[in-house]
Structure formats: C-alpha cells, structure tokens
Amino acid sequence: MRHYEQVFILKPTLTPEENSAKVENIKEAIEKNGGEILAYKELGMRELAYEIDKNKRGFYGVVYFKTNPSVIKELERLLKLSEDVLKYLTIKYDSKKEVSAFNGMVDTANGKKPEVEEKEETPEETPSEEKQGE
C-alpha cells in the first residue's frame, strides 16, 4: 500500500452537514476499496486565490490515507463527477524521506506532536579557556 494525501475544495454554499456528508463519502470511497484512513484535517472555509466557477471561497479538507494505486483512479473519478467539489489534488509519497514527512503530517493532523530527535550538546572549549589553563 502506498501513502497518499488528498486535498479537496468544496463549494462554499454547502451547509456544515452537507460538508460532513461529502467528506464521509470521500472516506467511504477510500475504505470501500481497501484503503486505510490515517487522518482527516478540516482546514475550513478559506478565500481562493482565483475564482473557480464564480466562487471566491471554498471549504478545504485534507485526507491522509494508505491504499493501492488502483483506488486513486476510482476516487478521482468520483470527485470529478461531484458538482460540489471545486478542485482536488492527490499527492503520492514514495521515498523513505517523503513517507517520514507524511507520518509527521498525519501525527499533526491527529493532534500529536511529531517526534523530534534531540541532540545532546557538548560544551566546546573556547580559545580563551585553553590559554587560561596553560
């Protein structure tokens, strides 16, 4: 299974209940086809950089998930057919470095702090300290 991030923008005219229903439809489409939802992050209503279908605002959401590549075509087909979806973007994470960054984003979306490796600092001698000891 590969790691994916899907960003989507829904029409601003939808009610919060309709937004939730549309997000659930997206999640169901992923899970129904054997995918695993790792996290969902609601980014809320935001101003668009440019008008899309005469809309100046949109409801943003991000889903982080793992699935087989064959599911992506079906998911994008469903999003393309939906009149409530203004835009969507699917990002695939391949390399170990990308997957590591992906896991950090999933932790952040789930409200966890990403793990950061702490380095122990060793005090270095300054030239003035060396001269005093001589």
In whole angstroms, give the CA distance from residue 50 to residue 57.
Answer: 9
In whole angstroms, give the CA distance from residue 76 to residue 92.
Answer: 13
3-state secondary structure 92-131: EECCHHHHHHHHHHHHHHCCCCCCCCCCCCCCCCCHHHHH
Report yes or no: 97 and 34 within 8 Å, Cβ to Cβ. no
pLDDT of residue 123: 52
Extents of the domains making up the chain: 2-114
Mean model confidence pLDDT for the chain: 85
- The token duo for 1 is 């299974």
Q: Strand pairing of 36-52 and 55-67?
A: antiparallel
Residue-wise pLDDT for 8-51, tens only, equals 999 999 999 999 999 999 999 999 988 999 999 999 999 999 99
Tell me if the domain spanning 2-114 has CATH number 3.40.50.620: no
Report yes or no: 57 and 14 within 8 Å, Cβ to Cβ. no
